[in-house]
Amino acid sequence: MTLSRHILEPFEADSIVLGDALELLPRVPSKTVDLIVTDPPFAIDFRAQKMNYNRTGANVLEGYREVDGRDYAEFSIRWMEEAYRILAPSGSMYVFSGWNRLKDVLSAVDDAGFSTINHIIWKYQFGVFTRKKYVTSHYHIIFAVKNPGSYTFNKVEHYPEDVWTIKREYWKGRKKTPTKLPSDLVRKILSFSSNPGDLVLDPFLGSGTVAVVSKEMDRRFLGFELVSDYYEFARERLDLASCTGQA
C-alpha cells in the first residue's frame, strides 16, 4: 500500500514522534495502519538499571516508564480500542506480553473487537536468575486481526509453528534501552504480516527496532515514544540505518 502524505495528517509516514501513545493514538486517522507491532509496558515494577541479563547498568538508558498494575486493564483497553479504530480493514496486530498481566492483555484484545489468530510463544536464551521459582525465558505474542476473513499472511515458511526460538541481542559495551526486541524477531513478523509499502505502527517504540526494521524492509513506519532519551536513541538508530542499511 502506498500512502499519500496527507492521509496521516497530522503525522507523516516514516516518522517517529515524542509523546504519550494514549494522547497520540486518537490523532491517527481511522483505517490507515496496516500492521501494529508493539511491546508495551508490562506493569511488573521493572527496574531498568538492574543488572539483568549480565549487562552493565551504566550502559542502560534511564527513564523507563511503567504502568501501575492497578491501572493496567484500563490502560490496555484504552490503547487497543484506538488500535482497532486506526487499523485498515485487513490490518493485523502483534502485542508482546509477559505472563504477569497476560489476562488483562487477552481481555483487552477481545473487548476492543479483535479476533485472535495465534498465541505465539517467543523462547529466548536467558532470563533473570531466580532462587525459588522457575526462570522465565519466554514472552507471549498475541497475533490478532480486525477481520478474520481477510488479513495479510504471507506463508514465508512451509510449516510455520507458534513457538519461536530467537535469541535476544546482547549489545556488549554499547548504549541500549532496558528492553529491546531482536531485529530477527521483528523481521519475521513483518515478513508474515505485511508487504512492501505497508504502514507499520509501534505506539510504544522504545529502542526503535520496529521502525528501523520497517525502514530496512521497505515498509513505511510510524512510532510513538514517551521517554525523550529513548526517542533520541531511536532517531540515532534510524539515521544509522539510513547510512548503513542495517538495523
Per-residue pLDDT tens digits for 71-85: 899 999 999 999 999
In this predicted structure, the answer to whether residue 12 has a pLDDT above a threshold of 60 is yes
What is the pLDDT at residue 172? 56
> How many structural domains comprise the chain?
1
| 179 confidence band (pLDDT: 50, 70, 90) | low
With a pLDDT cut of 70, the percent of the chain lying above it is 82
* Separation CA 194–CA 149 (nearest Å): 16
Averaged confidence pLDDT in the chain: 86
What is the pLDDT at residue 70? 83
**Are the beta carbons of 129 and 82 closer than 8 angstroms?**
no
The whole domain housing 225 covers 5-244
| 7 confidence band (pLDDT: 50, 70, 90) | confident
- 121, three cell numbers: 510463544
In this predicted structure, the answer to whether residue 44 has a pLDDT above a threshold of 80 is no
Q: What pTM was estimated for this model as a whole?
A: 0.87
What CATH number has the domain bearing residue 120? 3.40.50.150
Q: What is the mean pLDDT of residues 173-192?
A: 80
Say which residues have a Cβ less than 8 Å from residue 77's Cβ, sequence separation at least 6: 107, 108, 111, 112
Which stretches does DSSP call E strand in the chain?
15-18, 33-38, 87-97, 115-123, 138-145, 163-165, 199-202, 220-225
